[in-house]
Amino acid sequence: MILQPRLELGASANDVPEYSLGQGVNDTEMGPCLCYEIKREFAPYVGVRYEALHGETEDIAECEGEATSSTAFVIGIRAWY
């Protein structure tokens, strides 16, 4: 079993109104993921993901009545060949 931390940052160099993105750091996504490697190429996993918007993108989402953060339970299978 492997516990993997995850952190992802999203950024934009320009405003992109058609995608509701502001300039600068747009969002962060983070959380732990617990994998069980049956084989190196095949591993089911479970985890928790927290996502939050920042800066101009957060302001745009608030004006549109959307949530600026969310938490989700994730489950899946990592496979490659």
Q: Running DSSP on this structure, what letter comes out for residue 59? A: H
In the chain, where the domains are located: 2-79
List, for residues 26-71, the tens digit of each pLDDT value.
Answer: 999 999 999 999 988 899 999 999 999 998 899 989 999 999 999 9
H helix or E strand, kind and range, residue 56 = helix 55-63
- Which amino acid is present at 80? W
Model confidence, pTM = 0.77
